[in-house]
Amino acid sequence: MSEWLNYHHLLYFYIVAREGGVAKASKLLRVAPPTISGQVRLLEESLGEKLFSREGRGLALTEVGRTVYLYAEEIFSVGRELLDTVRGRPTGRPRRLVVGVTDAMPKLVVANLIRPAFELPEPMRVTVREGSHERLLQDLVAGSVDVVLSDAPVSPPNRIKAFNHSLGECGTSFLASRTLARSLTKDFPKNLEGKPMLLASDATGARRSIDAWLDAQSIRPVVVAEFDDTALLKVLGAEGRGVFAVPSVIETDVCEQYRVEVVGRVAALRARFYAITVERRVKHPAVVAICTAAKDRLFV
């Protein structure tokens, strides 16, 4: 007998994961918590995998649970569109684009990269998911993500079969609040010596490149904070907490948005960006638009 997925069990799991717990799902579904827990348990038994793990007093999705949630989200989204179609409600039925964005990608770069997807003649429903490079590559191969935008390519030792499509590259700009920038009286980059600096976490390629460049220049700033979230880094940089670095392609946007000034630029300190797909030749129209616009308009 072929295996069948119980979509009723899947729906209960999906609502629990989306709402963040059994209690909230119980109120939404108007079903007793033990019933919901039992349905989720039956789904776990049918899949042979744990979907939730205990985290304090709450629940957290396991790695398998995250994958199941992504598929459930797609399944119930299509189901809602089916009902709208049968009942005569206009859906527009836009084509979907699911973009995976690695944690280290600056959000302003991402915004500029995906903008062409909204400018296509056909409607496009864009979903952006953030995660680690490794996790998103797994989602890409699983088919739950159409393209991964990253500042690091898939390296040859990686067992995942995926293809790098270069979007472009640029230098690096060092920025600071106006007050801090004007206090840096020496010539760049000597003016960074002993000065406060905000850096991305040491898990990123950009951080490793900056560290190597500083070492080569024999410059030792005072690292006052490190961030996984580059948006938070910019907010604190705008407060004058330290000098920070951004890809030069977004220098103007960052200066305008955060009211900071350029301390110096390093053309040799390259920031590179990639679209990663499972296809050697990109076919999805929105991904084609992203790659084309990046080369023709963004990185010129």
The pLDDT tens digits along the chain (300 residues) read 346 888 889 999 999 998 888 989 889 988 999 999 999 999 999 999 999 988 777 788 988 998 999 888 888 887 877 776 676 655 555 678 999 999 889 999 999 999 999 999 888 889 999 988 888 988 888 888 999 999 989 887 667 788 999 999 999 999 999 999 999 988 999 999 999 999 988 777 888 999 999 999 999 999 999 998 888 999 999 999 999 999 999 999 999 999 999 999 999 999 999 999 998 899 899 999 999 999 888 886
Of residues 291, 187, 195, 279, the one with CA closest to residue 237: 195
**Number of neighbouring beta carbons within 10 Å of residue 202:** 10
For residue 82, the model assigns a pLDDT of 73
For residue 88, the model assigns a pLDDT of 60
For residue 1, the model assigns a pLDDT of 37
User: 95-168+273-298 adopts what CATH topology?
Assistant: D-Maltodextrin-Binding Protein; domain 2 (3.40.190)
For residue 294, the model assigns a pLDDT of 93
Assigned CATH for 7-86: 1.10.10.10
Q: Which CATH superfamily is domain 170-270 in?
A: Periplasmic binding protein-like II (3.40.190.10)
pTM of the entire structure? 0.69
Domain with CATH 1.10.10.10 in the chain: 7-86
Domain with CATH 3.40.190.10 in the chain: 95-168+273-298, 170-270
Helix (H/G/I), strand (E/B), else coil: 171: strand
Of residues 145, 149, 147, 154, the one with CA closest to residue 168: 149
Beta strands 163-177 and 244-247: pairing type? antiparallel
For residue 300, the model assigns a pLDDT of 67
C-alpha span between 164 and 160 (Å, rounded): 12
Q: Inter-axis angle of helices 33-47 and 22-29, to 10 degrees? A: 110
**CA R_g for the chain:** 23
For residue 270, the model assigns a pLDDT of 93
Q: Inter-axis angle of helices 230-238 and 251-258, to 10 degrees? A: 50
For residue 85, the model assigns a pLDDT of 63
Helix (H/G/I), strand (E/B), else coil: 222: strand
